[in-house]
Structure 1
Amino acid sequence: MAEHLPAVGVAPRSAFADAVLLVTSELVANALRHAPRTPVIDVGITVAAGHLVVGVADAEPRLPDLGEEGMGAGLRLVTELAADHGGGVGAEPAADHDGKIVLVRFGLPVGAGTNPRG
């Protein structure tokens, strides 16, 4: 993930980059913890319309409880970091396999979101 952020104009080692990397780490840890029979965890990043979206997919079809009472410490941290950067957290059934994808949307900092190499 860290290698892809500069390609979309996100400064390495910036507070924003650190937040994205921490969120990605927490989502992967959650997938390992809560979907132990998942043979592969897919991690993706999308940048469009002023937002950066991190998606982590696994083979567990049960969606996480994103309500205040249902979240553990990891998802609470993810939610807070996304909110700090004008975004949010969602989850939905995977479109191409049995399982789910957890999506975290961030508002991009001013000047990010374009390829700095033109």
Structure 2
Amino acid sequence: MRQAREAVAGRFGEVGVAPSSAFADAVLLVVSELIVNVLRHAARSPVADVGITVAAGRLVVSVADAEPHLPELEPGATGAGLQLVAELAAEYDGDVSAEPAVDHGGKVVLVRFRVPS
């Protein structure tokens, strides 16, 4: 988990996120929660791939694993971790989705945020 957080934090400068901001803290907490979910719910997954992209004022965190089962994302159906992720995304006019991975038999969870000005 620490490696994933450090990798994402290491990209903040190049994508225009202030490293010590509340927004940066929210993004890193989302990364932590998604990695914990991989460890809990996709324990047979040999790897979790974490990505971060920024375009058109939106920052997207992606976490992919080898477990094909998509998480329930409806309000009230998620566990505490995904509920926290959804709340953090919503604080920054964002959302959470999950979809089958295109390059392997697993899935990818995407968390979108609007980058604060």
Q: Quick check: TM above 0.5?
A: yes
Shift of 1:13: 1.3
Residue 18 (structure 1) aligns with = 25
Q: Over aligned residue pairs, what C-alpha RMSD do you find?
A: 0.6
Max radius of gyration: which structure?
A: 1
Out of 71, 76, 81, the position equivalent to 1:69 is 76
Matches within 5 A, 1:4-83: 4-83=11-90
Out of 87, 94, 97, the position equivalent to 1:90 is 97
Identity %: 67
User: Which runs of 5 or more residues in structure 2 are unaligned?
Assistant: 1-7
Q: How does the TM-score come out when normalised to structure 1?
A: 0.91
Q: Which runs of 4+ in 1 moved over 6 A?
A: none
More relative contact order, 1 or 2 (CA 8 Å, 6+ apart): 1
Shift of 1:51: 0.1
The number of aligned residues is 110
- Give, in whole Å, the separation in 2 of the partners of 1:71 and 1:5: 28
- Give, in whole Å, the separation in 1 of the partners of 2:107 and 2:92: 24
Q: How does the TM-score come out when normalised to structure 2?
A: 0.92
Letter in 1 for 2:69: R
Residue 3 (structure 1) aligns with = 10
The structure carrying a bigger helix percent of its residues is 2
SS of 2:11's equivalent in the other structure is: coil
User: Which runs of 5 or more residues in structure 1 are unaligned?
Assistant: 111-118
